[in-house]
Amino acid sequence: MRTLYKKTMTRKLSLLPFFILICSSIFSQEKYEDSIKNIIKKDFVNIKTTDFKNLVPYETEKGMGYLNSKNNKIVVLPNYYQLDFAKPNLRGNYNNIAYFEINNNTKEMEVSLQNWEIFENSSTKNPIRKEYSKGFYVVNNAIFSFSGTYTYCPQLFKYKNEDFAIAIKENRYAVIKPSGETLKNLDFDYSHLDLVYVGNDKIWFKYKTMEGEQGFIDMSGEKKLINDIISNSRSQTEGYFAFIDSEHSIKRKYYGYSIESNDELYGVLDLLTMNWLIRPQKIFKIEEINYSTDKDLGEGYNVEDRKNLKFYFLVREGEKEASYYIDDKLKKFIPKR
């Protein structure tokens, strides 16, 4: 018994340095995070939570900071990266070391050495091609199998809680039901169909017919901006905007606004009214759409929420290196020196 006791005690004592090392490491990390938190608090000490919605990120060679949109005065020096607008909390990256979030009510701060960016789950299995089947079959909101008559796996989407998909056959595009039946006015008559999901069951397709006609068409076949569009659509934020406040930021158009561009012209189209918010022009190259809000939008998505948002557009002029934000009135938000 005495020998067994000695062995047990020896084993426990041999593990003691390991536990001390773990505890020491945890304590050191917490201390390190606290020191970063104190630095950030000093940078934001003079900013009231009611002013969060007025903060606009700006970029320099050193990094990013904040200016006040009311007067374009610098309120946070460029010691940061990936700063976002208030949603309604403030989020960013301090000196490429740690990520932080400041609460818009209490001004309490969380600091983490982990990146909170959300990525889409890529662990799903590849859909099965079935040569003699029709249409497609959905399991857990993903296409499980599809007809071998299609060139690729169809692009699945929902409309009024029903499954549809864009299918390609012999370089022709159409919108199909799970049975393989095509929608009226959206048969295999198109050389291209791009899905533009606005939200609240509003869907447009940017189309090009085999005859060369271009424009937007909805699920009922109504067409807009016929032969009056510019080629590329892009509305999801990218680049500086590293944090994603909810799932719709990845998967959906940005509250009904879309950047439309070609090699010369850049504009912003309102996909709810099908009117130009910023008419196509050559002065600004419009790179991103972002917004600020003092409302908590939660994880849901409702395109009607945009009435509570202030939109900004990241632009670049000519060959200038630094980008900056403008609003829909083309007001520039550039730091005053």
The tens digit of pLDDT for each residue in 133-177 reads 889 999 888 899 999 999 999 999 999 999 999 999 999 999 999
The yes-or-no verdict on residue 305 having pLDDT over 60 is yes
Kindly state whether residue 18 falls inside one of the protein's structural domains.
no
Kindly state whether residue 217 falls inside one of the protein's structural domains.
no
- Looking at residue 296, its pLDDT comes to 82
Q: Which two tokens stand for residue 293?
A: 């809000």
Kindly state whether residue 274 falls inside one of the protein's structural domains.
yes
Token pair 């460029």 is at which residue? 78
- DSSP run (H or E) holding 261: strand 257-261
Domain total of the chain: 1
Instruction: Please answer whether residues 237 and 309 qualify as being in contact, where contact means their C-beta atoms are separated by less than 8 angstroms.
Output: no
Task: Specify which of 160-174, 242-256, 320-334 reaches the highest per-range mean pLDDT.
Answer: 160-174
In this structure, the number of other CB atoms found within 10 A of the CB of residue 219 comes to 18
In this structure, the number of other CB atoms found within 10 A of the CB of residue 150 comes to 20
Kindly state whether residue 256 falls inside one of the protein's structural domains.
yes
Amino acid at 161: N
Instruction: Please answer whether residues 215 and 222 qualify as being in contact, where contact means their C-beta atoms are separated by less than 8 angstroms.
Output: no
By residue range, what is the domain housing residue 246? 46-116+230-337
Q: Which pairing describes strands 74-81 and 90-94: parallel, antiparallel, or unpaired?
A: antiparallel
Kindly state whether residue 132 falls inside one of the protein's structural domains.
no
Kindly state whether residue 150 falls inside one of the protein's structural domains.
no
268: phi > 0 → left, psi -120 to 50 → alpha, else beta; which?
beta
Q: Which of 236, 316, 318 lies closest to 59 in space, CA to CA?
A: 316
Share of the chain above pLDDT 70, in %: 78
Which of these ranges, 172-176, 268-272, 317-321, 326-330, has the smallest mean pLDDT?
A: 317-321
Kindly state whether residue 145 falls inside one of the protein's structural domains.
no
- Looking at residue 242, its pLDDT comes to 35
Report the predicted TM-score, pTM, of the whole model to 2 decimal places.
0.71
Kindly state whether residue 126 falls inside one of the protein's structural domains.
no
The yes-or-no verdict on residue 252 having pLDDT over 60 is no
